[in-house]
Amino acid sequence: MERAKFVTHKGRQLYLMDCCNATVEEMNQVIEACERDVRCQPENSVFTLTVAGGSFFSAETISRLKELAGDNTPYVKASAIIGVTGLHKVVLNAVAMFSKRRFYIYDTLDEAMDFLAGYTD
């Protein structure tokens, strides 16, 4: 199953990262794919959508997520995330603080996709 890929919603390209119930190894694969795929795009052009929930995190994974978000900042126009509860909120807050990025939190995939598809500065 491909967990990180570009998808199109209402005519807008979104970078979808499906981290739901991911193992640490799968999380590392998503991080590597995101590094590769996002950083070859024009600056301030990528809309990211993360599906969280049920994932496993190690200290190394959290550190890599913070680095990923920080290093991807120049390329990302807006980021949405769903499935943020419990420990995932703590991880998201750490990533947001480290990267100085804003993550828009939604309850459903459709809500998040619609937000990103209609996003304007």
The pLDDT assigned to 48 comes to 97
Domain boundaries defined on the chain: 4-116
Q: How far apart are CA 112 and CA 63, in angstroms?
A: 25
The pLDDT assigned to 77 comes to 97
User: Three-class SS of residue 107?
Assistant: coil
The pLDDT assigned to 12 comes to 98
Per-residue pLDDT of the chain (121 residues; tens, 9 = 90+): 699 999 999 999 999 999 999 998 999 999 999 999 999 999 999 999 999 887 777 888 888 988 999 999 999 999 999 988 776 677 777 777 877 888 898 989 999 999 999 999 8
The pLDDT assigned to 46 comes to 98
* Topology at the third CATH level for domain 4-116: Transcription Regulator spoIIAA (3.30.750)
Q: How far apart are CA 97 and CA 83, in angstroms?
A: 19
